[in-house]
Amino acid sequence: MSEIQWLAVIDSTDGPVDHAKIFCVNRHSFFLPVASLGEHSLRLEDVVPAGRQQTVRQVMTPPMITIEAGAHLAAAAFLMRHAHNSSLVVVADNTREPVAMITEADIANAVAQGRDTENVRVHEVVTTNLMTVRADAVAADAIRLMLPEGAWLLPVVEDRLLVGMVKLADLVRAYLMPGPVAVAEA
């Protein structure tokens, strides 16, 4: 099981703390901007007030551009480029039900294998074991879901339909920082 175990504050010379490094049980670590934690090393319980539980819905962004499983890889590459995204959610038929994610790496691998992006379909290069998170899940549970898988971005679902996307950094920020969370516009 992977949990946020502790954090170490850095850049705390003379003034407010700018960033903290989050260390997790599974050895993942990343930096997160934090506001004035004050101590050089704190346990997570010391930072996060008990009972304050932000939900995924509070930090998710509207759904990003999607693509159908039967679309060509060339279409996926085009959409990624013009949307400035490195991945797309693959939806079933003409619904908003997510079934997979396609990434730039998936397309690059197909090209490296000599496959024609005009003839290869999205469903031929993606794996369908998509991890999603419910909109009503609390931030801490979503973080615990994402960390062991190394996921940085997850589709958010409600009644199996895509309602948004959530980034690990936004979840951690919501979990660690008091007050309302500002949601970024897509």
115 half-sphere exposure, CB direction, 13 A CA radius: 17
Q: Is 161 helix (H, G, I), strand (E, B) or coil?
A: strand
Instruction: Report pLDDT for 66.
Output: 92
Beta carbons within 10 angstroms of residue 104's beta carbon: 15
Model confidence at 169: pLDDT above 70: yes
Q: In the predicted model, what is the mean pLDDT of residues 163-171?
A: 91
Residue 130 has what DSSP assignment? Answer: -
CATH of 57-169, one of 3.10.580.10, 3.90.105.10, 3.30.70.360, 2.160.10.10: 3.10.580.10
Q: How far apart are CA 176 and CA 54, in angstroms?
A: 10
Q: What pLDDT, in 10s, does the model give residues 19-42?
A: 444 444 444 555 544 443 444 444
Span 105-122, pLDDT tens digits: 999 999 999 999 999 999
Domain definitions of the chain by residue range: 4-47, 57-169
pLDDT for 165 equals 93
Mean pLDDT of the chain: 75
